[in-house]
Amino acid sequence: MTNAFQQKNRVTRSGLRLDLRPAQAEDEAPLEEFFRHVSADDLHFRFLSAAPRVAHDVVVAMTHVDHHQTENFLAFEANTGLLVATAMLACDKTLERGEVAIAERADFKGRGIGWALLQYVTDAARARGVKMIESIESRDNHAAIELESEMGFSVEACPGDATLLVVRKYLQPV
């Protein structure tokens, strides 16, 4: 990612102050602890899996990224330093397309973190020249689909899987 997205501060609509930065190798333990506080439904929505917990190798992949095609941003509550959310941006080699995935601690939901993180990732993708970002969503993830729709994402059926939707936003003219 560009230097502009190394460390940033954001304030959510509820007034929660966040410190945002890319994940690093030393974030493995805090990220594993974070996922213990994400609801089972939200784990399912984030990974589209029924696994009851996030495997260590997945956490390693989230903290050891190439920083060119993939970035995993972490959001910490500014006052306490508590990890409250994570947002992944995974791009193809040409940076034509990027996929976004966000997860929040259950006890911090409803405070505007998802909105702030999606805006942050959208800005990071746009700054890198990514032309389009998208997310694969379970049809049951009404909160995420509503938020993405409010932010200008289009919603389409996922080819080959009636249980999923593709939400997409073009960042540059097609």
Helices (H) and strands (E) in the chain, counts: 5, 8
SS3 content of the chain, % helix, strand, coil (to 5): 35, 35, 35
List pLDDT tens digits, range 47-91: 998 888 999 999 999 999 988 899 999 999 999 999 999 999 999
DSSP H or E segment with residue 34: helix 28-35
Q: Is the pLDDT of residue 1 over 60?
A: no
Are 135 and 144 in contact by the 8 Å Cβ rule? The answer is yes
Which residues are bridge partners to 101 per DSSP? 88
Is the pLDDT at 6 greater than 70? The verdict is no
> What's the whole-number mean pLDDT along residues 156-169?
97
pLDDT tens-digit map of 8-21: 899 999 999 999 99
CA 120, 154, 131: angle at the middle one, nearest 5? 55
4-18, 22-36, 45-59, 153-167: segment of lowest average pLDDT: 4-18
**Burial grade of 38 (CB within 10 A; 0-12, 13-18, 19 or more):** buried
pLDDT of amino acid 174: 66
pLDDT at position 2 over 90 = no
Give pLDDT, residue 50. 83
DSSP 151: T
What pLDDT does residue 101 have? 97
Q: What is the mean pLDDT of residues 114-132?
A: 95
Distances (CA, A) of 65 to 59, 73, 81, 88: 11, 11, 22, 10
